[in-house]
C-alpha cells in the first residue's frame, strides 16, 4: 500500500466545487422523486417532522463524521477504514457500503431512466391535452413496458460511467457547479404554479399539518431511511468525496451547507407536488410513480408549461446524474485503489455489473412485476434494503468508528485545520456520535423492523 501514498490523488479544485459536488450527490431523485412518494405513503406532516428531526440530530452528524474519515485517510470507503484501523475488521463497514452502492445504483438508474423518457415526452409535447387519468395511464403503460425503460436505464448508466471516467475535477466538479442553482430556481417557479392551483391548500395541510395518529415504528424507520438516502450518508459516498477535499476546507460548514441545501430542496419538492396532488385528485400514497404522474399535470396548467417541462426534466436528469456519479465513484475508487485497476477499467467493470443487476429492478415494473417476495418486487427490495437497512446500519458503524476509534483528539485535529477553525460544539458533536446517534438509529431499526414486539 506504500506506493499509494506517493501517487498524486485527484482532488476538488475549489471550495465551491466541493460544495457543489457534495450537494450534487445529496440532491437528486431522493429529494424530488423519493421524498414526495415516501411522505405521501406515510401520511404527510408528522412524517415530515420526524424526517427533519433525523436530518438535524443524526443526518448532519453522520455526514460530518463521514467527511472526517475520508479526509483523514485520503482513501476510498474501504481503504479509509483499513488505513485508520489497520488489522481490524472495520473495513467490513466499507465493504457493506460498496454493496449498498451496487444496490442503490441498480434501482436508482431505473428511475433516472424514467426522467429521460419524460424529457423526450416533454419535448414531443406528449402531455398536452391529456386528462389526469390519461397521464396516469400513459405513465403506467411506459413503466410496465420492457424495451424503453431498459434502454433509458442503459443510456443513463452510460452517461454516469462517462463522467466518472473523466475523473474528479474535470468530470464531477465541472458539471455540478452551474446546474444546481438553476434547478433550485425552476423548482421555485413550479411551486408557485402548484400553489395557485384551485384546491392547493389541502396539499399544504397534508404536508405541514402533523397528524400523529399516523406515526408507527415502520413510519419512523422510513423517515430515517429517507433522511440517510437523501443526504447520501451511510455507505461511504462522503468518505470517498471527503478524501478529495483539500485540507483547508471547513468541513463542519460544508456539511451544514450541504444538508441545509438538501433539506430545502426536499421541502420545496413537497410544496411543488402535494398541492397539485390534491388539485388533480391524485392519491398521495400513489407510490413510485407519484411525481411522474403529477408533474405533467402541472406543466399542462402552466403558462409556458411546454418550455418549463423540458427544462425541468433536463435538470432532474442532471440532478440524478450528479448523484449516480457519486455512487459509482464509491465503487470505482474502491476497485482502482484496493484492487489496483486503472480508473478506466474500474469504471467499465463497475458500470457494466451494476447495469446488469439494475435491469432486474427495471423489469420488476413490467415482465417481472408478478415476482414478489413478502409483497415486495425486486425494485421494492433494493429500495427498502438499501435505504432502510444498509444505510442506517452503515451510519451506526461510521459514527461509532469516529466517536470511539478515531476519538476526540483526531477529530479535533482533522476538523480544526491547524487551529484555524474554531470548534465550539465539538463536545456536543462527540456526544452525539458516540451515544445519541448510534442508540437512536439502533432503536428505530429494531422497532421499525419489528425485531422486538
Ligand atoms: N442522495 C441522493 C438523492 O437524494 O438522490 C441519492 C444517493 C446518492 C443515495 C448517493 C446514496 C448515496 F450514497
pLDDT at 20: 78
Query: Could you state, in order of their start, the residue ranges of all structural domains in the chain?
Result: 2-448
Ligand 1 neighbourhood includes 224 CB (under 6 angstroms): no
Reduced to 3 states (helix: H, G, I; strand: E, B; else coil), residue 22 is helix
Write down how long the chain is.
453
pLDDT at 181: 82
pLDDT at 9: 65
Ligand 1 neighbourhood includes 236 CB (under 6 angstroms): no
Contact status, residue 309 vs residue 291, Cβ threshold 8 Å: no
Cα gap 86→90, rounded to integer Å:
9
Can you read off the three cell numbers belonging to residue 416? 480544526
Non-local (6+) Cβ contacts of 4 within 8 A are 75, 337
Q: Tell which one of 23, 26, 62, 110 to mutate to probe ligand 1, the residue whose CB is within 8 A of the most ligand atoms.
A: 26
Reduced to 3 states (helix: H, G, I; strand: E, B; else coil), residue 376 is strand
pLDDT at 165: 83
pLDDT at 34: 95
Ligand 1 neighbourhood includes 26 CB (under 6 angstroms): yes
Give Dmax over CA atoms of the chain in angstroms: 65
Alpha carbon 138 to chain centroid distance?
Answer: 27
Cα gap 392→400, rounded to integer Å:
12
Q: What is the CATH number of domain 2-448?
A: 1.20.1740.10
Non-local (6+) Cβ contacts of 247 within 8 A are 71, 417
pLDDT at 301: 85
Low-confidence residues in the chain, pLDDT < 50: 1-7
Residue 373 bridge partners (DSSP): 376
pLDDT in tens, 143-152: 998 999 999 9
Q: Which has the closest alpha carbon to 161: 38, 35, 282, 325?
A: 325
Backbone angles phi, psi at 224, to 5 degrees: -65, -45
Give the nearest ligand 1 atom to 391 CA. 11
DSSP-derived letter for residue 135 is H
Distance 420 CA to ligand 1 centre (A): 31
Ligand 1 neighbourhood includes 232 CB (under 6 angstroms): yes
pLDDT at 6: 41
Contact status, residue 403 vs residue 434, Cβ threshold 8 Å: yes
Ligand 1 neighbourhood includes 394 CB (under 6 angstroms): no
Distance 94 CA to ligand 1 centre (A): 16
Amino acid at each position: 500500500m506504500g506506493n499509494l501514498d506517493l501517487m498524486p490523488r485527484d482532488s476538488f479544485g475549489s471550495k465551491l466545487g466541493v460544495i457543489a459536488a457534495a450537494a450534487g450527490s445529496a440532491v437528486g431523485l431522493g429529494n424530488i422523486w423519493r421524498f414526495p412518494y415516501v411522505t405521501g405513503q406515510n401520511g404527510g406532516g408528522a412524517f415530515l417532522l420526524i424526517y427533519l428531526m433525523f436530518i438535524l440530530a443524526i443526518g448532519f452528524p453522520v455526514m460530518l463524521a463521514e467527511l472526517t474519515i475520508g479526509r483523514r485517510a485520503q482513501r476510498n470507503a474501504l481503504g479509509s477504514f483499513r488505513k485508520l484501523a489497520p488489522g481490524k475488521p472495520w473495513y467490513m463497514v466499507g465493504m457493506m457500503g460498496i454493496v449498498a452502492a451496487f444496490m442503490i445504483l441498480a434501482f436508482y438508474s431505473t428511475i433516472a431512466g424514467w426522467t429521460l423518457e419524460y424529457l423526450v415526452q416533454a419535448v414531443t409535447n406528449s402531455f398536452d391535452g391529456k386528462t389526469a387519468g390519461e397521464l396516469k395511464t400513459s405513465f403506467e403503460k411506459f413503466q410496465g413496458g420492457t424495451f424503453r425503460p431498459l434502454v433509458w436505464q442503459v443510456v443513463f448508466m452510460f452517461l454516469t460511467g462517462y463522467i466518472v471516467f473523466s475523473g474528479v475535477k474535470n468530470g464531477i466538479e465541472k458539471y455540478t457547479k452551474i446546474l444546481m442553482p438553476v434547478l433550485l430556481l425552476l423548482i421555485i417557479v413550479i411551486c408557485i404554479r402548484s400553489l395557485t392551483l384551485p384546491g392547493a391548500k389541502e396539499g399544504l395541510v397534508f404536508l405541514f399539518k402533523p397528524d400523529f395518529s399516523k406515526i408507527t415504528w415502520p413510519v419512523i424507520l422510513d423517515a430515517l431511511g429517507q433522511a440517510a438516502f437523501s443526504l447520501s450518508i451511510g455507505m461511504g459516498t462522503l468518505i470517498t468525496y471527503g478524501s478529495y477535499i483539500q485540507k483547508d476546507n471547513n468541513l463542519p460548514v460544508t456539511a451544514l451547507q450541504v444538508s441545509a441545501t438538501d433539506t430545502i430542496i426536499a421541502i420545496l419538492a413537497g410544496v411543488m407536488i402535494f398541492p397539485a396532488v390534491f388539485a388533480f385528485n391524485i392519491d398521495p400514497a400513489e407510490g413510485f410513480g407519484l411525481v411522474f404522474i403529477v408533474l405533467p399535470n402541472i406543466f399542462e396548467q402552466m403558462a409556458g408549461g411546454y418550455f418549463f417541462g423540458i427544462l425541468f426534466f433536463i435538470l432532474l436528469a442532471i440532478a440524478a446524474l450528479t448523484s449516480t456519479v457519486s455512487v459509482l465513484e464509491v465503487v470505482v475508487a474502491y476497485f482502482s485503489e484496493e484492487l489496483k485497476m486503472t480508473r478506466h477499467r474500474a469504471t467499465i467493470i463497475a458500470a457494466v455489473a451494476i447495469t446488469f443487476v439494475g435491469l432486474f429492478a427495471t423489469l420488476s415494473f413490467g415482465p417481472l412485476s408478478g415476482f414478489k417476495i413478502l409483497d415486495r418486487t425486486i425494485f421494492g427490495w433494493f429500495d427498502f434494503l438499501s435505504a432502510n437497512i444498509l444505510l442506517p446500519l452503515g451510519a451506526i458503524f461510521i459514527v461509532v468508528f469516529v466517536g470511539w476509534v478515531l476519538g476526540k483528539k483526531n477529530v479535533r485535529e482533522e476538523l480544526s485545520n491547524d487551529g484555524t477553525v474554531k470548534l465550539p460544539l465539538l463536545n456536543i458533536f462527540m456526544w452525539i456520535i458516540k451515544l445519541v446517534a448510534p442508540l437512536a438509529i439502533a432503536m428505530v431499526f429494531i422497532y421499525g423492523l419489528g425485531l422486538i414486539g
